[in-house]
């Protein structure tokens, strides 16, 4: 029974809970037990909220018993990335600077999950301030990939994706600034979606790079991701960059995709994302996916987006620049860590000592890169040029979408690398985000859906699908059709 | 493209209010140099005629009605403060820093 519950999809669990076949408390307890059994090895969670999860589960069970209409995912457990503020539950962002901080309010995403009856199991591990591609930059130790515990689960949202792969939760929330939902999804064999920028509120999401940060759903199936997408998306007056437009019909699109017909759909293969630096097993998995999409009726052709070659350098100027500004709020005065306040030191000295003690090396590197890129004399050459590249990338997307409904590429050039392998080489680490960054710079939606396992190392590979802004449903349709054609590819043994 | 010196990294750390150690200065000077050399390639295609994009979604100012809504109370706002006194944030001395 327990085994069935942890293997079930969110859609299946919701149906069973709402029909009274099982209780949300049973489902929640099964997942809490699974966390207890496996998280010593995986370390997906930074905080498990047993009491809060069971209380929410009981509320849903009572509502079901009373015959009340409950929302589509009510009673289903979820793992929440520790970047989202949760009232009365610790929120660390993977950083020592917020160790022990208990937010006095909920992020909009948190609030929407609670209102929809979703059961929040706890907070998941992440690279500090979402800066990283391996979850090794967490101040609380790395998360391990359930497929091979010696390998990284991707990042920054490695905890959320690892929790899905380890059957600790059927649903999770991530945030994606340069690929932090999609790349962990790819390397753990799970689905990860970055919605259109502005589609999901950033209120209460601890800011890294505000013009790029976007929260989104993570799941083991495309339909589950779509169901979660509709719970968290929508206009929010608390976020001035929130888009005031209807939520794209992603659930209907995922269901439509399951009929397996993509006749007439035009798919562009981005030629920039292949060749040197791409692992053979990843390339072969991608070729197989292209063949399957053709069999489903899609018309597939190559498309060149030359400016995408400059997306990585542009990103590693824009994101650090925004982070150097955003992280100025960690000043040791209003919340979080304070170090060195011995009565003799000034505010500025305490601030510098606290930030030195509270931030890890990658965060410091990015703050300094951003400080440099924004300083007078260098602004035009660095930040100014990066903003122009952003324009070119947006234009390349627009041109490509004149001829294609969606674009595809591998999600990431390699499968999960070994823990420690790239830890001392920032540029090598940054390359994990090569294919995912353009969509962040353009604000367009993109997702990763598993394309099976690499024949070289048996590790999961991801297929990235990109769509124009507010056309999120297009990629869900393609992903659902592909997922059904691809079939099952097994799971990790823990 | 000019390379970044150890002294420049020390200056950046000061601007960013990071009391970095001597060892970190050595480490970061090398790493920042590699990163900056690498990202400088944006200059290769960023010609004068291209307008910059600061934000993916074109937005103008967002206005809303000026109405009173519930917000954090004083106690909640101070709940995460390292130190508080008389309903206020208590901070280290802010005057005479250059003394």
Q: Per-domain residue ranges for chain A?
A: 2-258+446-486
CB A143 within 8 Å of CB A51 = no
Cα A488 vs. chain centroid, distance in angstroms?
Answer: 22
- Choose, from A138, A156, A274, A307, the residue flagged as catalytic: A156
pLDDT (tens digit, 9 = 90+) per residue, A218-252? Answer: 999 999 999 999 999 999 999 999 999 999 999 99
**pLDDT tops 50 at residue A413:** yes
Q: What's the rounded Cα separation, in Å, for the pair A55 and A237?
A: 29
Question: Terminus-to-terminus CA distance in chain A, angstroms?
Answer: 18
Which pLDDT tens digit goes with each residue over A96-121? 999 999 999 999 999 999 999 999 99
- Compute how many other C-beta atoms are within 10 angstroms of the C-beta atom of residue A120: 22
Active site residue A388: no
Section A461-478 average pLDDT: 98
Q: Is B92 on the interface with A (CB under 8 A)?
A: yes
Look up residue A291 and give its two tokens: 């063949």
| 3-state secondary structure at position B16 | coil
Q: Given an 8 Å threshold on Cβ–Cβ distance, is B34 in contact with A426?
A: yes
Banded pLDDT at A80 (limits 50, 70, 90): very high
Residue A153: closest CA among A332, A416, A388: A416
Q: Is the dihedral of CA A232, A234, A239, A242 positive or negative?
A: positive
| Helix or strand (DSSP H, E) at A179 | none
DSSP state letter for A145: B
Secondary structure (3-state) at A466: strand
Average pLDDT over residues A321-345: 96
Q: How many whole angstroms separate alpha carbon A239 and alpha carbon A112?
A: 14
* B96: exposed, middle or buried (Cβ count in 10 Å: 0-12, 13-18, 19+): exposed
Model pTM?
0.97
For residue A378, count other CB atoms closer than 10 A to its CB.
16
Q: Do A335 and B81 touch (CB under 8 A)?
A: yes
The DSSP secondary structure of A185-199, one letter per residue, reads HHHHT-EEEEPPTTS
A81 is catalytic: yes
Domain extents in chain B: 1-38
Alpha helix positions (H), B1-99: 6-15, 22-39, 74-77
Interface test with A, best of B8, B56, B91, B99 (most A CBs within 10 A): B56
What pLDDT band is residue B64 in, cutting at 50, 70 and 90? confident
Cα distance between residue A179 and residue A434, in whole Å: 9
Q: Which of residues 26-55 of B touch A (CB under 8 A)?
A: 27-28, 31-32, 34-36, 38-47, 50-55
Interstrand relation of A460-466 and A406-410 (parallel, antiparallel or unpaired): antiparallel
* Distance of alpha carbon B8 from alpha carbon A67, whole angstroms: 67
CA distance to partner chain B, nearest, from residue A100 (Å): 9
- pLDDT of res. A165: 98
Q: Count other Cβ atoms within 10 Å, centred on residue A7.
A: 12
Q: What is the 3-state secondary structure (H, E, C) of A394-427?
A: HHHHHHHHHHCCEEEEECCCCCCCECCCCCCCHH
**What Å distances lie between residue A246 and A219, A233, A234, A484, CA to CA?**
23, 9, 7, 28
Averaged over A82-100, what is the pLDDT? 97
Residue-level pLDDT at B2: 55
Chain B CB contacts of A350 below 8 Å:
92
Judge whether residue A469 has pLDDT over 50.
yes
Rg of chain B in Å (alpha carbons)? 22
Confidence at residue B95, expressed as pLDDT on a 0 to 100 scale? 80
A418 φ, ψ (degrees, to nearest 5): -75, 145
Beta bridge partners of A462: A450
Average pLDDT over residues B10-30: 96
Task: Of A226, A172, A182, A176, give the one whose Cα is nearest residue A480.
Answer: A226
Nearest to A201 by CA among A140, A110, A67: A110
B8 vs A contacts (CB less than 8 Å):
372
Residue contact B56–A394, C-beta within 8 A: yes
Give B11's contacts (C-beta < 8 A, 6+ positions apart).
none
Phi, psi (deg, nearest 5) at residue A319:
-65, -50
Order of strands, sheet of A406-410, starting from the edge strand that comes earlier in the sequence: A45-48, A119-124, A77-81, A171-176, A214-219, A191-194, A446-453, A460-466, A406-410, A266-270, A299-303
Q: Cβ separation of B80 and A385 shorter than 8 Å?
A: no
pLDDT at A414 over 60: yes
Q: Structurally, what CATH architecture does the domain formed by B1-38 represent?
A: Orthogonal Bundle (1.10)
Residue among A204, A192, A293 at smallest CA distance from A242: A204
Q: DSSP readout, A419-458?
A: TTSSTT-HHHHHGGGTTTHHHHHHT--EEEEEEEE-TTT-
CA A4 vs CA A9, A13, A16, A34, A308: distances in Å = 10, 10, 12, 12, 44
Q: Which uninterrupted H or E stretch holds A219?
A: strand A214-219
- Calculate helix-pair angle for A158-165, A24-42, nearest 10 degrees: 110
Please name every residue paired with A41 in a beta bridge, in sequence order, or none if there are none. none
Closest-CA distance of chain B to residue A282, Å:
25
CA distances from A241 to A12, A467, B56 (A): 35, 20, 10
Question: Contact, A191 vs A215, CB < 8 A?
Answer: no
A385 neighbors A409 (Cβ within 8 angstroms):
no
- Is the omega angle on the peptide bond into residue A156 within 30 degrees of 0, that is, cis? yes
DSSP A382: I
Burial of A78 (0-12, 13-18, 19+ CB in 10 A): buried
Q: Which of B18, B52, B72 sits opposite A356 (nearest CB)?
A: B18
Give residue B99's pLDDT. 46
Mean pLDDT for A32-55 is 98
Burial class, A187, CB count within 10 angstroms (exposed 0-12 / middle 13-18 / buried 19+): buried
Would you give the DSSP letter of residue A80? E
Average pLDDT over residues A27-37: 98
Average pLDDT for B56-72: 85
pLDDT bin (cut points 50, 70, 90) of residue B56 is confident
Architecture in CATH for domain A2-258+446-486: Alpha-Beta Complex (3.90)
The answer to whether residue A376 is catalytic is no
Q: How confident is the model at residue B98 (pLDDT cuts 50, 70, 90)?
A: low
Give the three-state DSSP class for A303: strand
As a whole-number percent, the residues of chain A with pLDDT over 90 amount to 97
Q: What is the average pLDDT across A276-286? A: 96
Q: Provide the pLDDT confidence category of residue A3 given band limits of 50, 70 and 90.
A: confident
The complex scores an ipTM of: 0.93
Task: Read off the pLDDT of residues A350-393 as tens digits, 9 standing for 90 and up.
Answer: 999 999 999 999 999 999 999 999 998 999 999 999 999 999 99
Kindly list the distances between the CA atom of residue A68 and the CA atoms of A14, A64, A74, A117, in Å, as whole numbers in the listed order: 14, 6, 11, 12
């Amino acid at each position: 029974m327990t085994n069935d519950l942890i293997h079930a999809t969110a859609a299946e669990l919701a149906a069973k809970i709402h029909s009274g076949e099982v209780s949300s408390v049973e489902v929640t307890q099964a997942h809490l037990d699974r966390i207890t059994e496996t998280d010593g090895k995986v370390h997906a969670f930074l905080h498990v909220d047993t009491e809060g999860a069971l209380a929410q589960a009981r509320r849903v069970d009572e509502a079901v018993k009373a015959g009340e209409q409950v929302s589509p995912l009510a009673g289903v457990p979820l793992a929440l990335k520790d970047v989202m503020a949760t009232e009365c539950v610790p929120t660390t962002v993977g950083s020592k600077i917020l160790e022990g901080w208990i937010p006095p309010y909920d992020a909009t995403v948190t609030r929407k999950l609670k209102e929809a009856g979703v059961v929040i199991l706890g907070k998941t591990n992440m690279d500090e301030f979402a800066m990283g591609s391996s979850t090794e930059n967490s101040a609380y130790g790395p998360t391990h990939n359930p497929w091979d515990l010696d390998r990284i689960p991707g990042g920054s949202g490695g905890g959320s994706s690892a929790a899905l792969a380890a059957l600790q939760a059927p649903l999770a929330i991530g945030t994606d600034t340069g690929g932090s939902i999609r790349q962990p999804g790819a390397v753990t064999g799970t689905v990860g979606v970055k919605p259109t920028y502005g589609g999901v509120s950033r209120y209460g999401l601890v800011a890294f790079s505000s013009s790029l940060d976007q929260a989104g759903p993570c799941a083991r199936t495309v339909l589950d991701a779509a169901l979660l997408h509709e719970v968290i998306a929508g206009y929010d007056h608390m976020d001035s960059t929130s888009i005031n437009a209807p939520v794209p019909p992603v659930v209907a699109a995922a269901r439509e995709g399951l009929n397996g017909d993509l006749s007439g759909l035009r798919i562009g293969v981005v030629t920039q994302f292949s060749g040197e630096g791409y692992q053979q097993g990843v390339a072969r998995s991608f070729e197989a996916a292209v063949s399957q999409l053709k069999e489903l009726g899609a018309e597939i052709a190559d498309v060149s987006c030359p400016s995408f070659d400059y997306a990585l350098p542009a990103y590693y100027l824009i994101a650090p620049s925004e982070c150097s500004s955003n992280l100025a709020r960690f000043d040791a005065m209003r919340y979080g860590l304070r170090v060195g306040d011995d009565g003799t030191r000034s505010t500025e000295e305490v601030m510098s000592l606290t930030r030195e003690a509270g931030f890890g090396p990658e965060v410091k590197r990015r703050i300094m890169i951003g400080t440099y890129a924004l300083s007078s004399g260098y602004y035009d050459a660095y930040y100014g040029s990066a903003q122009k590249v952003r324009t070119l990338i947006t234009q390349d997307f627009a041109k490509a979408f004149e001829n294609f409904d969606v674009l595809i590429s591998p999600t990431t050039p390699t499968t999960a690398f070994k823990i420690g392998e790239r830890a001392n080489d920032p540029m090598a680490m940054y390359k994990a985000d090569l294919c995912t960054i353009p969509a962040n710079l353009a604000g367009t939606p993109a997702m990763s859906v598993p394309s099976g396992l690499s024949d070289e190392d048996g590790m999961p590979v991801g297929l990235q699908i990109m769509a124009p802004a507010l056309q999120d449903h297009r990629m869900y349709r393609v992903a659902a059709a592909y997922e059904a054609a691809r079939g099952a590819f097994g799971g990790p043994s823990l | 493209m000019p390379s970044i010196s150890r002294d420049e990294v020390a200056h950046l750390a000061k601007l960013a209010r990071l009391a970095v150690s001597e060892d970190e200065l050595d480490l970061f000077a090398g790493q920042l140099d590699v990163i900056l050399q690498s990202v400088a390639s944006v200059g290769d295609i960023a010609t004068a005629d291209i307008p910059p994009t600061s934000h993916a979604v074109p937005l103008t100012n967002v206005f809303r009605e000026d109405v009173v809504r519930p917000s954090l109370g004083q106690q909640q706002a101070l709940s995460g403060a390292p130190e508080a006194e008389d309903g206020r944030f208590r901070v280290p001395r802010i005057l005479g820093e250059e003394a």
